[in-house]
Amino acid sequence: MIEVTKLNGTNILVNAELIESVEETPDTVLSLVTGKKIIVKERRQEVKNLVILYKKEIAASGLPWLQEHQ
> Is residue 48 within a helix (H) or strand (E), and if so which, with residue range?
helix 44-60
Question: pTM of the predicted model, to two decimals?
Answer: 0.83
Residue 13: predicted pLDDT: 98
The pLDDT of residue 69 is above 80: no
> Within 10 A of 32 (CB to CB), how many other CB atoms are there?
15
Q: pLDDT of 7-62, one tens digit each?
A: 999 999 999 999 999 999 999 999 999 999 999 999 999 999 999 999 998 888 77
Distance CA 64, CA 28 (A): 34
Distance CA 68, CA 21 (A): 34
